[in-house]
Amino acid sequence: MIYITLFFSFARIGLLTVGGGFAMLPLIQAEAVTHYEWITLQEFTDIIAVAQVTPGAVGINSATYIGYKAAGFLGGLSASLGLVAPSLVIVMIVAGFLLKFQDNIWRKRIFSGIRPVAAALIASAVFVIARMVMFPDGLRSFRLIPAIISVLSFLILRNPWKKIHPIIVLGLCAVAGIIFL
């Protein structure tokens, strides 16, 4: 049954991901695009873009959309519940232990080892998105305008002299997309 498959597929993602929604993206892509083929790679890229501008975390927004696309309202609900269930259970169990072992050297070392994995998963998601945006049909199909928009957006957001709110940058990029793409 598709609802059970969606639930357990996204529960695996929720259980195995450290680092939040962006770190989930490579795992979501592997399950939804590659393994089950619920969506295409282009749809996956579009989901990430839409999930960025809608309220909520990118992981849960992606799970909801993929589940809905695969099996309607109940599919979206199944995927969403699957994604959050492991975190909910783990947080309820671990919260007490973290406070009790707050200064424990082993706990500090474990978290020091996990942080680089979270960074690598997020970097992997950035790479996948950038490749889809700039090379939609393979290496021979470089698209200059999206590359320029991406680089300029990054530079504007990381500008140390003048901070510009990300919503303004998002709006400017939407206008640039309307004009140039």
Let me know whether 153 and 111 are in one domain: no
Let me know whether 121 and 39 are in one domain: yes
pTM: 0.69
Let me know whether 58 and 17 are in one domain: yes
Domain count, the chain: 2
Let me know whether 89 and 167 are in one domain: no
Let me know whether 78 and 158 are in one domain: no
Let me know whether 39 and 113 are in one domain: yes
Let me know whether 104 and 174 are in one domain: no
Range of the domain at 161: 143-181
Token pair for 9: 């597929």
Let me know whether 83 and 163 are in one domain: no
Let me know whether 50 and 107 are in one domain: yes
**C-alpha to C-alpha distance for 137 and 80, rounded to whole angstroms:** 31
Cβ atoms 131, 139 nearer than 8 A: no
Measure the CA angle with vertex 65, ends 134 and 129; round to 5°: 15
Let me know whether 98 and 159 are in one domain: no
Let me know whether 104 and 59 are in one domain: yes
Let me know whether 19 and 85 are in one domain: yes
pLDDT in tens, the chain (181 residues): 999 999 999 999 999 887 677 888 889 999 999 999 999 988 998 888 888 778 888 899 999 999 999 999 999 999 999 999 998 998 888 787 777 878 889 888 988 888 898 888 888 888 888 888 888 887 788 889 999 999 999 999 998 888 899 889 989 999 998 998 8
Distances (CA, A) of 22 to 29, 137, 153: 11, 24, 18
* Boundary of a domain, candidates 134, 152, 172: 134
